[in-house]
Amino acid sequence: MIEPRGSRRQRNAPTISDVAARAGVSPMTVSRVINGEGSVRPSTRERVEEAIAALRYAPSAAARMLAGGEELRIGVLHTSTSLFYFSEFLVGCLDQGSRQNCQILVEQCAEGAESAAIGHLLHGRIDGLLLPPPLGDAEKVMAELRERDIPVVAVSTGRAPDWALSVSIDDRKAAYEMTRHLAALGHVRIGFISGAANQSASRERLDGYRGALTDVGLEQDPALIADGTFSYRSGLDAAERLLDLDAAPTAIFASNDDMAAATVAVAHRRGLDVPGDLTVCGFDDSALATTVWPELTTIRQPVGDMARTAVDLLLREIRQRRAGNAGQDQPHVVVDYQLVRRQSDAVPRRRPRS
């Protein structure tokens, strides 16, 4: 004689069966309604929806995954750099992840320890990987990933390899537009601080700057280009160099906000007013851009949206691979940037540095 054991349910949340009972249909029908399948009579659907609302029913993600046989997990690998960028990125990933019912595993890695981190992530049964900068440009990392044949999307990388997916803005065009904006303001000597040499976006931005100068008919003075590495510290040095010039620029366009903020600091230290005596523009629109004073005119990368897009792209790829289909139609998506004007740019003084 076997006594039926009691339910093991611990949560008091309503289940699909509760809804079914209340609506007077089978659980299967409820499932169909939830998933928006067409083959349900409108009147039935309505009854089910009423029941759902009344019970405040929400489907269990765990059960769906299990039953649906689709347990998606994607990894995010990042180095400690650019925390500003990363936070926005992460929020976007999570948001889209929960919407798409997929788990996000975050792995921080030190420089040089990427391989171990990748191993650790893969060990956690990752189905795909998201690479915020600067990892998408790290050749060793990319090579290893390619070897392992795992779907990867490189984000904010100027030039992603063909075999990988990518989401980015048009860095070249954005820098081009900013430079033209500066020229339109009346600036003739426009300084540029470049980014880290090992990131392809740096090159794109420099190209954009150069292209605009050419198109606008402004002189290309190599002295007006100072090398930076994207760090605040490097921005300090680069700005000093630029402002030490005999014919110093009246505007400086830095390849990111950190270096632009550093440029503002240097200008202030020299008693120059920003933007009165010197226009300073950045790139990225990170938290720093609105932290410093004056707030920076910069190029906004919609990092949160890019993250969401990256998640979607990756998920689609994973599903396609599972289904045995070929790759994506559009593996490289380019999203729109925005030039946002704040308080750090202005028309140049009539007699610069009088």
Partner DNA sequence: GTGAAAGCGCTAACAG
Partner DNA sequence: CTGTTAGCGCTTTCAC
- Binding interface with DNA (CB under 7 A): 2, 4-5, 7-9, 11, 13, 15-17, 25-32, 34-35, 38-41, 43-45, 57, 59-60, 63-64, 66-69
Residue 94 partner contact from a copy of itself, DNA, none using kind-dependent CB cut-offs of 5 to 8 Å? a copy of itself
- CA-to-CA distance for 131 and 143, rounded, in angstroms? 13
CB 278 within 8 A of CB 252: yes
The secondary structure of 15-46 as a DSSP string is -HHHHHHHHTS-HHHHHHHHTT-S-S-HHHHH
Tell me if 87 contacts a copy of itself by CB under 8 A.
yes
CB 134 within 8 A of CB 196: yes
Tell me if 58 contacts a copy of itself by CB under 8 A.
yes
Distances, alpha carbon 24 to alpha carbons 17, 44, 203, in Å: 10, 9, 64
- CA-to-CA distance for 239 and 192, rounded, in angstroms? 9
Measured at the alpha carbon of residue 267, what is the angle toward residues 303 and 256, in degrees to the nearest 5? Answer: 15
Smallest distance from a copy of itself to CB 259, Å: 11
- CA-to-CA distance for 268 and 202, rounded, in angstroms? 26
CA 324 vs. chain centroid, Å, equals 29
Size of the site for a copy of itself (CB under 8 A): 51
Token readout for 315 is 């998920």
Smallest distance from a copy of itself to CB 106, Å: 5
For residue 134, whether the previous peptide bond is cis, meaning omega lies within 30 degrees of 0, is yes
Residue 4 partner contact from DNA, a copy of itself, none using kind-dependent CB cut-offs of 5 to 8 Å? DNA
Residue 155: CB atoms within 10 A of its CB come to 27
CA dihedral for 174, 178, 181, 183, sign (positive or negative): negative
CB 297 within 8 A of CB 281: yes
Rank residues 93 and 165 by Cβ distance to a copy of itself and give the closer one.
93
Smallest distance from DNA to CB 234, Å: 48
| Residues 231-270: x where in contact with a copy of itself by CB under 8 A, - otherwise, as a string | xxx--x---------------------x---x--x--xx-
| Residues 11-50: x where in contact with a copy of itself by CB under 8 A, - otherwise, as a string | x-x-------------------------------------
54, 63, 113, 247: residue in contact with a copy of itself (rule CB under 8 A): 63
The residues in 314-343 that bind a copy of itself, with binding defined as CB under 8 A, are 322
Tell me if 86 contacts a copy of itself by CB under 8 A.
yes
Positions touching a copy of itself (CB under 8 A) are 8-11, 13, 56, 58, 60-63, 65-66, 69-71, 73, 83-84, 86-88, 90-91, 94-95, 98, 103-106, 108, 123-125, 231-233, 236, 258, 262, 265, 268-269, 271, 287-288, 291-293, 322
